Structure 1
Amino acid sequence: MQGSNHTEELLLAQLATGGREATEQVYKQHYPTITKWIMHNGGTDADAADIYQEAIVILYEKSQDEAFRLSCRIGTYLFAISKHLWYKKANKMQQGPISLPDEDRQEWAYEDDISAHKEREQYYAQLNAALEQIGEPCQSLLKAFYHQDKTMQEIATGFGYTNTDNAKTQKYKCLARLRKIFYAAQVKQ
């Protein structure tokens, strides 16, 4: 069992770095089981693919957190996340609550992971919407600094500012505008 724990830790570490082979291995090992379970519980092959993809994204995001320690096997974690996501989706598709089998009536330890993932997804969607509203050149300037990791010197040269101080001032103004738009949208909700 010690060897298999080491293999699971290695696989999780490879997933954290975006390793394609690790992702393919996880898909091959666990996708059929989860697909079969979802289809057995009223879902389609497309439902299973969507649910499994979301579970993989949650696992990937958790693997990025250095404090995250998997207390079970990867397959068990993915299965629990997938079951929970399926129950939530099935509940939304039906008008009333679905009845869960007795073994699934426990509180899901993974609900926090899913909630955090959904909140982060919503936050980034709102941030992207605010970024779209801010317009040019602010949108390009902020993307160059935060997404493309360009230095202030590169930004000053690329955007035609006379020096890095002017570029920093413009970045500060753009960031202030972005915050204003973003938080105004937050208040409206």
Structure 2
Amino acid sequence: MNPDKKEQILLSGLANNDSKCIEIIYENNFSTIQAFILNNNGSYDDARDVFQEAIMILYEKSKLDSFALSSQIKTFLYAVCKKIWLKRLQSRGKYAINLDASVIENTLVQNDDIENARQQDIDFNIMEAALEKLGEPCRTLLKAYYIKKKGMGELAEMFGYTNTDNAKNQKYKCLMRLKKLFFAQYNKLNEDE
């Protein structure tokens, strides 16, 4: 199915409270938001709250006839969650940043951000393809470390490595393979343009 068509079906399903579409949106996007918030002074509960707020914003927008999503759903949700989270961090005094309130309040990806959003979509898609090509056990190992935040001791135990140094070494090798796959596709894409 055409990716744009799939996005429109999911958006329409969200607007119509289709539980399957909502579940797919959660499954496809929550782990990215969770990783972002956990890496930026947040907790799992913070990630759930922020993600839920972003879903509600997308839901409200999807009900408007005038709303046209100019990026992928994951890019929209990431941009919204990032703005919400930065505002919360600023209010907690944990993140010193000068953000104009109007910028924070406006949760739509603006014209200036559209090109960045599109590039981010391309980069996400290239990374997903690179992860698929990477194969096992590297894919599972990198997801366990970077997304699920497993420590080296846990990785050593999960994958049967004799110690944490071996786990760290294998993670490094997997990461280098992933980078090689990513940049091979990225450079090929840029040559074709």
Q: TM-score category by the smaller chain?
A: 0.5 to 0.7
**Of the candidates 59, 65, 84, which is equivalent to residue 80 of structure 2?**
59
How far has the Cα of 1:56 moved from its partner? Answer: 5.7
2:81 maps to amino acid: Y
How far has the Cα of 1:15 moved from its partner? Answer: 9.7
Partner residue, 1:20: 52
Task: Return the index of the structure with the highest Cα Rg.
Answer: 1
Partner residue, 2:150: 150
> C-alpha separation between the residues in 1 aligned to 2:69 and 2:129?
24
Q: Describe how 1:39-118 pairs up with structure 2 within 5 A.
A: 48=67, 50=69, 57=77, 58-65=79-86, 67=97, 68-71=99-102, 74=105, 77=106, 81=108, 110-118=110-118
Computed over aligned residues only, the root mean square deviation of the Cα atoms, in angstroms, reads 3.5
SS at match of 1:179: helix
> C-alpha separation between the residues in 1 aligned to 2:126 and 2:162?
33
Could you tell me whether the CA contact under 8 Å between 1:31 and 1:52 is conserved in 2? no
1:130 maps to amino acid: A
Partner residue, 2:16: none
Change (3 A) 1:180 1:27: closer
How far has the Cα of 1:126 moved from its partner? Answer: 0.8
Aligned identity (percent) is 36
Change (3 A) 1:147 1:136: same
Could you tell me whether the CA contact under 8 Å between 2:71 and 2:121 is conserved in 1? no
Could you tell me whether the CA contact under 8 Å between 2:131 and 2:139 is conserved in 1? yes
Runs of 4+ in 1 over 6 A off after TM superposition: none
SS at match of 1:162: coil
Could you tell me whether the CA contact under 8 Å between 2:51 and 2:81 is conserved in 1? no
TM-score normalized with structure 2 length = 0.54
2:64 maps to amino acid: T
How far has the Cα of 1:35 moved from its partner? Answer: 2.0
Could you tell me whether the CA contact under 8 Å between 1:145 and 1:151 is conserved in 2? yes
Partner residue, 1:92: none
How far has the Cα of 1:69 moved from its partner? Answer: 3.1
How far has the Cα of 1:118 moved from its partner? Answer: 2.1
Change (3 A) 1:112 1:65: farther
